[in-house]
Amino acid sequence: MPEPGPSPSQSRLADAMARVGARTRLTHSEPHSDTTGDLAPRHGEESRAAAGPDASALERILRGPSGVGTTGLYLTRREEPPAPREPGTPTEGVPVPGLYHHPVPEPDPVRVEEISHRIKRWAVDEVQACPPEWEDQFDGFSVGRYMVACHPDSPTVDRLMIATRLMVAENALDDCYCEDHGGSPVGLGSRLLLAHTALDPLFTTREYERPWAESLRSDAPRRAYRSAMEYFVQQATPSQADRYRHDMARLHLGYLAEAAWAEADHVPEVWEYLAMRQFNNFRPCPTITDTVGGYELPADLHARPEMQRVIALASNATTIVNDLYSYTKELDSPGRHLNLPVVITEREGVPDRDGYLKAVEIHNDLMHAFESEAAALAAACPVPSVLRFLRGVAAWVDGNHYWHQTNTYRYSLPDFW
Ligand SMILES: CC(C)=CCC/C(C)=C(\C)COP(=O)(O)OP(=O)(O)O
Ligand SMILES: [Mg+2]
């Protein structure tokens, strides 16, 4: 059976590789940003060897192994292709003008419906994380559509539910501890640490383990974290579970920095904000793409500096997308809600519109850097699990943009154009 043609994310990596091959050499040391604010090539260690393979070679790599006897190299394949969008079906919402992004096919409505039904039952009945007064907001979040769009290679609904429960749990904690469902920076550190033990358990004496275990049932975030993590570890390898715990510790550290600035009513420098947003970040979502897909990126390949840089760049791009689409919602919320356009405007003394448009440019620079680095890594390390993981991260980036653009229940664009 002929292999399917390259998906958007595969073609994108191939295009980016062509750009990398034609551009100045990238090196393997840490990033060094120059005065232009672009992600300049990094200084230090030896430059990368001669330009990488041409785009067609990379497309062949990214399509993965083909021919007789290679099916087994794909640990899992989707049961059915995503349903094509009916011609002329308008997608809700419009993309931010000038935002570099890749449209995605409309998520399979059958799968969206199934996930939406299952996750509502879990949130309402299984973990009591969604009281009746929050149900409209829960439905408006459209988490089923979000996750189907972000994990197009998930072979089963059960595996997709792993990501969906974690997404709901992560947002429940953000809403209840940090945002508009009773959130506060005061005492956040204690609440976050105790909730984190639902992911990264306490090991202590029997006498004290009992009250700890009881505490995990004491509020919606902890019930949701504990249950979602239980389902996750049933399908994840120990190294995937450890990766996720590490990424969630990063997230919670980011929440604490944001809370410290809120308590002091402090506006950070732009670079300080970008550093915080690299931790208060969607990272724990794309990095489970292999668990959701039913394969594993080995721990040693995940730990490579080049892979860590790709993950950070992709995750940063996804999170600045949130800053851009949630800008008006956050302007309308009580107090000052920090996001990249607001911090640029305040710290660089420019009008709101200019701050917003500069944030768009920063997002675009991050996206181009992600794609170039991912393409270079794909060419340098064409291991099937690496290629599939990179495609999965790229798909998460695209699906995340699709969800932000189309969630007109939650987001609307400023009138800057
Ligand atoms: C799902 C997940 C891991 C979230 C991590 C951090 C987070 C809550 C975001 C990146 C979304 O940011 P924000 O708090 O601004 O959310 P909204 O703009 O209210 O959607
Ligand atoms: Mg936001």
Q: Which CATH number characterizes residue 377's domain? A: 1.10.600.10
Residue 292 lies in a domain: yes
Residue 119 lies in a domain: yes
Does any ligand 1 atom lie closer than 6 A to the CB of residue 407?
no
- Residue 47 DSSP SS3: strand
**pLDDT 10s digits, 304-342:** 999 999 999 999 999 999 999 999 999 999 889 999 999
Most confident of 85-99, 167-181, 215-229: 215-229
Model ipTM over 0.90: yes
Q: How far is CA 47 from CA 37, 58, 145, in A?
A: 21, 20, 42
Quote the percentage of the chain above a pLDDT of 70.
Answer: 78
Does any ligand 1 atom lie closer than 6 A to the CB of residue 174?
yes
- In this structure, how many other beta carbons lie within 10 angstroms of the beta carbon of residue 51? 15
The tokens describing 54, both together, are 């041409």
Confidence at residue 86, expressed as pLDDT on a 0 to 100 scale: 53
Confidence at residue 39, expressed as pLDDT on a 0 to 100 scale: 72
Work out the average pLDDT over 113-133: 96
Per the structure, how many domains does the chain have? 1
What burial letters (b/e) apply to 273-305, b meaning 16+ CB within 10 Å? bbebbbbbbbbbbbbbbbbbbbbbbeeebbeee
Domain extent for 146: 101-406
Q: How far is CA 357 from CA 331, 351, 407, in A?
A: 16, 10, 21
Residue 415 lies in a domain: no
Confidence at residue 176, expressed as pLDDT on a 0 to 100 scale: 92
Which amino acid belongs to residue 133?
A: E
Confidence at residue 76, expressed as pLDDT on a 0 to 100 scale: 37
Work out the average pLDDT over 168-176: 96
**pLDDT 10s digits, 191-239:** 999 999 999 999 999 999 999 999 999 999 999 999 999 999 999 999 9
Residue 219 lies in a domain: yes
Does any ligand 1 atom lie closer than 6 A to the CB of residue 316?
no
Residue 361 lies in a domain: yes
Tokens 């120990």 belong to residue: 238
Reported pTM: 0.84
Is a pLDDT exceeding 60 seen at residue 78? no
Q: How far apart are CA 246 and CA 202, in angstroms?
A: 15
Residue 57 lies in a domain: no
**173, 232, 283, 322: which to mutate for ligand 1, most atoms within 8 A of CB?**
322
Does any ligand 1 atom lie closer than 6 A to the CB of residue 96?
no
Query: Which ligand 1 atom lies nearest to the CA of residue 337?
Result: 15
Q: How far is CA 107 from CA 42, 157, 221, 272, 350, in A?
A: 38, 13, 28, 36, 39
Confidence at residue 38, expressed as pLDDT on a 0 to 100 scale: 66
Residue 258 contacts residue 178 (beta carbons within 8 Å):
yes
